[in-house]
Structure 1
Amino acid sequence: MDDTRIEKRVGVQATSDRIWDLVADLSGWGAWNPVDADVEGAIAYGGRLTMNEAWPDMAERQALAQVVEWQPRVRLVWAERRGFLFQSLRYIQIEELGPGNCILTAGIRFSGLRGELFHDKHRPAIRQAQEAIVEGLKAAAEAG
């Protein structure tokens, strides 16, 4: 099967602190993230996150995830077991190139046979969603 990862990268004219402040404000995700709404939880190792996930052209669903890695101003990674043979790993990564200049990446990886099949079936919608996430976060970071 093809690579089961979809990610989008974009340059952002903002500090890593500014971008991280937006990422760390879970309740504010709805202002820049068109996929994940009503995000609650804790950014901590093993921290639980809940959110309403609405991928383009798919029904909205409640997602229950766990933070598996995080580093302030660098990355947030959360995983979800979505059923038998279906796991997803989502991430936001910030790479600071210089003062006020960063590369922002949003991505998702699917594993397990059912995860790979889901990826193959919904690849265009997921790609569109990842682009919307980074563009929304970029706009919010550059605006403030």
Structure 2
Amino acid sequence: MDTTRIDKRIGVRAPSDRIWEIITDLENWHSWNPYETGVTGTVAFGGCISLTEALPGMAERQVQARIGDWQPLAQLVWAEKRGFMFNTIRYYEIEELERGNCIVSNGVIFSGLRGELFHDKHRSKIRQAYEEIAEALRRAAES
């Protein structure tokens, strides 16, 4: 089964607890993330998350996913089954280099037969959106 990863890493001048606070405040994602809005759910092992995804040039869609992993101040990961043999893993990761300086990654891993075709068709749009999400998260954390 093929897998493809698209992600963006960015330096953020803020402590990990500030970044984590923003990422886990699901109801307020709309204030910094223009592509994943209407987010609801519970950050807990096996918890569910719902959101509206509106990536550039693609139809808006409803996402129903399950939290696959989370570690306070470090990562939030959710998985979505998108159909027969097509899955995605969406993630945010925080690496605190020293107090007040972090590297934050946000990205997606596509897997399955349809994943490769989907990725090939939409790669540049997805990459652009994740770059914009990273910049918006950086601005929110540093403000």
TM range (shorter): over 0.9
Q: Which residue does the alignment assign to 2:42?
A: 42
Q: Which residue does the alignment assign to 1:67?
A: 67
AA aligned to 2:30 is G
Counterpart CA distance in 2 for 1:81 and 1:125 is 21
Q: Which residue does the alignment assign to 1:26?
A: 26
Poorly superposed stretches of 4+, deviation over 4 Å: none
Q: Which residue does the alignment assign to 2:52?
A: 52
AA aligned to 2:58 is M
Structure 2 residue runs of 5 or longer lacking an equivalent are none
2:65–2:79 contact (8 Å) kept in structure 1: yes
AA aligned to 2:126 is I
Counterpart CA distance in 1 for 2:11 and 2:50 is 28
Q: Percent identity?
A: 58
* Cα displacement (A) at 1:13: 0.3
* Cα displacement (A) at 1:127: 0.3
2:2–2:112 contact (8 Å) kept in structure 1: no
* Cα displacement (A) at 1:94: 0.3
Q: Which residue does the alignment assign to 2:102?
A: 102
Counterpart CA distance in 1 for 2:70 and 2:20 is 11
TM-score, normalization: structure 2?
Answer: 0.97
Number of aligned positions between the proteins: 143
Structure 1 residue runs of 5 or longer lacking an equivalent are none
1:13 is the counterpart of 2:9: no
Counterpart CA distance in 1 for 2:3 and 2:86 is 15
Counterpart CA distance in 1 for 2:116 and 2:69 is 23
2:2–2:111 contact (8 Å) kept in structure 1: no
AA aligned to 1:45 is F
* Cα displacement (A) at 1:87: 0.4
TM-score, normalization: structure 1?
Answer: 0.96
